[in-house]
Chains A and B, each alone.
Chain A
Amino acid sequence: MGSATVRAVLLGGCLLALAGPAAAQVNFSGEWTGRYHEDQPDRVPGEEPGDFSGIPLNDAARMFGDSYDVGRHSVLEEQCAPYTMPYMFFGPNQFRIWQQMNLDTQELVAIEMHLGTYQQHRTIWLDGRPHPPEYAPHTFMGFSTGEWNGDILTITTTHIKQGYFRRSGVPASDRTTVVEHWMRHGNLLSQVTIATDPVYLTEPYVRSQEFVLMDRGNQNWLYNCEYANELARDKNLVPHYLPGKNPWAGEFEKKHAMPREGVRGGAESLLPEWKPGAPAARPNPAKNGGFSPAVLPQPLPAGEVRAVKVQGNVYLIAGAGANIVAQVGEDGILVVDTGAAGRSDKVIAAIKGIAVDKEIRWVINTTPGADHIGNNEPVSKAGRTVNGNQAAVVAHENANTRMIERKVPDGARPYNTYFEPSRDFPFNGEPVILYHDESSVDDADTVVFFRRSDVIASGDIFRTDSFPVIDVAAGGTIQGEIDALNRLLDLAVPSKMLQEAGTYVIPGHGRISDEHDVVWYRDMLVIIRDRIKDMVGRKMTLEQVKAAKPALDYEGRYGADTGPWTTSMFVEAIYKDLAKTGAPAAAGSAGAK
């Protein structure tokens, strides 16, 4: 047999192997538009306030929805904010899908989507990569990976920002995970979405939508939005309704003569046998679980300390207690906070690992908190100023005072302090600006703004793992905390009008965030403050206020029943602060109705 013949036979064999029993991979490429033959009044014009029917939500979500005022979308930072992935496909939408192929192997690497609504982009990775760790930023579309189950493309999306399951105010937390299934039948694309949100749902929320291939395509691919205040008003006003004060409460069921229990939603109301008066479904945490660790945001393994580039010259060092930030460049390394004591070797290794030939020149403390300053001394000693001294530790003078009160050893305390509302200096070719708020979570905090890198180290003024730890005895106030967050909002600018990325905010604890994350946190505090202020004004006792659960709609996300900072302690701090000052009218409270 000649070599040409052998090659032909081999090639034929290879082709047979390739084209074997099931050469059928669905291609979703094309331009698609929705069909709104289900829930059309909700999906296109928009839901009516107070309609929670069909959602397996919990009491926290109901409270959020009852407090929701659609005017919240007039808040500057919310005006152009897109809907998040759990809602995006439910509302009016058209999208383009194309495939990203590996040019060398022609394997499908990812499916790309451009959504005309809010000009969003999605990448669904099919190359087997894991989901990012817990510290990674969240986006409106989240992080998606896909896998084939025969003809069904199954997609899992995590790292989604907080948003809504319904745009009339049914909330979706940033701990939502969405599993999608895509099926194609000719020019019909069916999508099932199953959302799991342990904060606001008692069980997964299943929906399905149909999309048809557009014969002529669509030209409506851009979303031109420009946020602006068009009326003279407080830009930090957060419209919302106080408990029991929503004038639209009950309107939906009255107008449509619907059974109230059904309109209030809940898993029990989704079953055929449901009747008004049926007992509420019990929360079943097991229903929210089961996800593979590979698809859920994971904390770093215990004991691991890792440096991660954020943007520009700035890095996050995670895994050492409170977040550590490092700014690196020609001048050396500037470190913001040093984490909890006991991991100094790993912290120093992580910092030095970013730039092995550079010295640690500065250490800035955002707070006197032990989990932020625990490695001050060894990190300082590992560095060297241009004068040959160990790296200088800098903090606001109140922080130094607090450390002295707490008997922090001299070697771990700041050598340099400042006393002004702000201080700036150049380092590594960019302005570094320190801001101090006299009373935020306490009287000693510092925010560090890396202006060229466009990154803010917020300290504990902003954190994504709990309610703010307002230390009233140390000068903290709820209004000061809100003011400090408002300053963060003033400094932060999104990368596009669509409220994502741009300025990154590294919180004292938790994941890398952006302006949109801060605005939700600020809104939460304004709303809780207004509720407690209203209760204080009505002469309710502390116990009565706690029993009224003024933070219920956020407890599942930021609260705790045990540990160093419980929901009860948080409510008590605000109560005592407001009671002390007689619950005065405060900026932003005009949003409460």
Chain B
Amino acid sequence: MIRHTTGRLRSRAPHVAFSVLAVAGAMIVAWSGVAGVSAQRGAPPGPPLTAQQGAPVDLTGTWVSIVTEDWRWRMVTPPKGELSSVPVNGEGRKAAMAWDLNADNAGGNQCKAFGVGGIMRQPGRLRISWQDPATMKLEFDAGTQTRLLQFDRAARPGVEKTWQGFSVAEWEGPGAGRGAPPVGDTRVTGGGTVAVPGGGGQGLRGGPPPRQQAQINRGGDLKIVTANAREGYLRKNGVPYSEQAVITEYIHRLPTHPNGDDWLNVVTVVDDPRYLAQPFYTSTNFRREADGSKFTPTPCKTDPPLPVAAPARPASR
């Protein structure tokens, strides 16, 4: 399993006497604890923020996948046995070579290519909304799939495994849970400018303040860990992941591009001790759409694969 640590610097204090540091450190810890549960610094302690209220970034909306990567494996169904790029092990290879689209269709397994391990790579639209303040909903029009992201740690998976599995989510980053303005606040949706002190954003030093900070966020992303999923396909042509797979995703809403485009970047890491020799990393980019009018749910359907490629000749430099 890969190690997903925080990777952040947590202190920028200058050199001072150890005793002073210790005292100050204790004060910081105490203060931070308060800040973590109150809505605003200086405000009286209140009820804990919901996941929706504590969102450091607004992910909601309709996003369309822009297929600039793996086009030849995402926009068409590649030939059986086309495993390039995927670190399958021997068992995974064997399973991929045994793929039978007709058998899937006949056996009611048409959605194996639309499960949690492969759905992000399906060309389509992704609609993100809040089902309730502790549950985010991801809807995919490709295969008419829905995934619920549980922020409530008390939530537990059902008995049966599903195509989309059971997902727990948490906000990451400096803005997460720290009195973030509620979703819909103009400061996080683009209607105004967040005042960011001197360089680096979020009160940090090092770098100028963002010029177009208005567009998105106070710094943060969404981490999702999914398990309890049915076996499915990483690629349309039956490259498998197993029920043992754990899928970790990081969803980033990127700062608005100068031309006005808003991008969503989803990093997906599939750990599968059964079919993969090492974690499988992909990242998928979605562009925000003005509305949901193009969101068109379609049933799980995989086109027949292309014929097996002719032998390759030496490639370019």
Which residues of A pack against B, CB within 8 Å?
Answer: 8, 11-12, 15-16, 18-27, 35-41, 45-49, 51, 53-56, 70, 73, 105-109, 126-128, 146-154, 167-169, 179, 181, 183-188, 190, 192, 194, 196, 204-210, 212, 254-259, 262, 269-274, 286-292, 294
Contacts and interface: CB of A to CB of B under 8 A. Distances in A.
Nearest to B213: A149
A79 to B, nearest CB: 10
A38 B218 CA distance: 30
> Considering residues A109, A146, A183, A205, which has the most beta carbons from chain B within 10 angstroms of its beta carbon?
A183
Nearest to B200: A148
B84 A40 contact: yes
A190 B282 CA distance: 10
Contact of B285 (A56, A183, A192, A254): A192
A556 to B, nearest CB: 18
A44 B255 CA distance: 30
Nearest to A272: B123
Contacts of B24: 11-12, 15-16
A147 B254 contact: no
Given A148-B219, A150-B174, A153-B207, 11 more contacts: A21-B41, A22-B178, A37-B281, A54-B71, A148-B202, A149-B210, A181-B265, A187-B7, A192-B285, A270-B68, A294-B211
A168 B316 CA distance: 6
Interface string B304-317: 00110110100111
A205 B261 CA distance: 12
Given A19-B28, A187-B7, A73 B76 contact: no
Contacts of A291: 258
Interface string B273-298: 00000001111110100000010000
Nearest to B254: A181
Contacts of B64: 271-272
Nearest to B66: A270
Contact of A204 (B27, B84, B257): B257
B68 to A, nearest CB: 4
Given A19-B11, A187-B7, A272-B142, A35 B27 contact: no
Nearest to A51: B72
A444 to B, nearest CB: 41
Interface of B: 2-14, 16, 20-21, 23-24, 27-28, 31, 35, 41, 56-57, 64-72, 75-76, 84-87, 123-125, 142, 172-175, 178-179, 199-211, 213, 216-221, 223, 250, 252, 254-255, 257-261, 263, 265, 267, 269, 280-285, 287, 294, 306-307, 309-310, 312, 315-317
Nearest to B175: A150
18 contacts: A15-B13, A16-B27, A22-B203, A24-B219, A26-B7, A38-B70, A39-B85, A147-B209, A149-B217, A167-B316, A179-B257, A187-B3, A187-B7, A188-B267, A208-B265, A210-B283, A272-B64, A274-B123
Contacts of A19: 11-13, 28
B252 A181 contact: yes
A169 B221 CA distance: 36
Contacts of A48: 312, 315-316
Nearest to A168: B316
A134 B50 CA distance: 50
A194 B263 contact: yes
Contacts of A206: 66, 68, 263, 285, 287
A37 B87 contact: yes
A378 B288 CA distance: 59
B306 A255 contact: no
Given A41-B84, A148-B202, A274-B75, A186 B210 contact: no
Contact of A11 (B6, B9, B20, B67): B20
B90 to A, nearest CB: 18
A214 B5 CA distance: 14
Contacts of A153: 207
Nearest to A275: B75
Contacts, number: 317
> Considering residues B10, B13, B65, which has the most beta carbons from chain A within 10 angstroms of its beta carbon?
B13
Given A188-B281, A192-B283, A257-B307, A151 B174 contact: yes
Contact of A108 (B200, B283, B317): B200
Contacts of B260: 290
A258 B201 contact: no
Contact of A126 (B124, B208, B283): B208
A185 B85 contact: no
Contacts of A148: 199-202, 204, 206-207, 210, 219
A150 B218 contact: yes
Contacts of B223: 185
B8 A185 contact: no
Nearest to B296: A273
A147 to B, nearest CB: 5
A24 B171 CA distance: 14
Given A21-B202, A149-B213, A192-B254, A37 B85 contact: yes
A188 B20 contact: no
Given A37-B280, A55-B68, A272-B123, A147 B201 contact: yes
Q: Which 7 A-B pairs have the closest CB atoms?
A: A150-B219, A108-B206, A290-B258, A22-B174, A54-B71, A126-B207, A272-B123
B71 A149 contact: no
Contact of B65 (A20, A207, A272): A272
A196 B84 CA distance: 29
Nearest to B216: A149
A22 B267 contact: no
A192 B265 contact: yes
B219 to A, nearest CB: 2
A48 B312 CA distance: 9
B54 to A, nearest CB: 13
A481 B13 CA distance: 62
Nearest to B142: A272
Contacts of B207: 108, 126-128, 146-148, 153
Contact of A151 (B173, B280, B284): B173
A294 B86 CA distance: 42
B103 to A, nearest CB: 22
A205 B285 CA distance: 11
Nearest to B311: A255
Contact of B35 (A21, A49, A127, A208): A21
Nearest to B269: A188
Nearest to A153: B207
B8 A27 contact: yes
Contacts of B57: 150
A47 B69 CA distance: 13
B262 to A, nearest CB: 12
Contacts of A179: 257-258
B191 to A, nearest CB: 17
Contacts of A20: 203
Nearest to A20: B203
Contact of B72 (A25, A128, A256): A256
> Considering residues B71, B87, B205, B280, which has the most beta carbons from chain A within 10 angstroms of its beta carbon?
B71
Contacts of A259: 76
A25 B70 CA distance: 33
Contacts of A21: 35, 41, 174, 178-179, 202-203
B270 to A, nearest CB: 9
A287 to B, nearest CB: 5
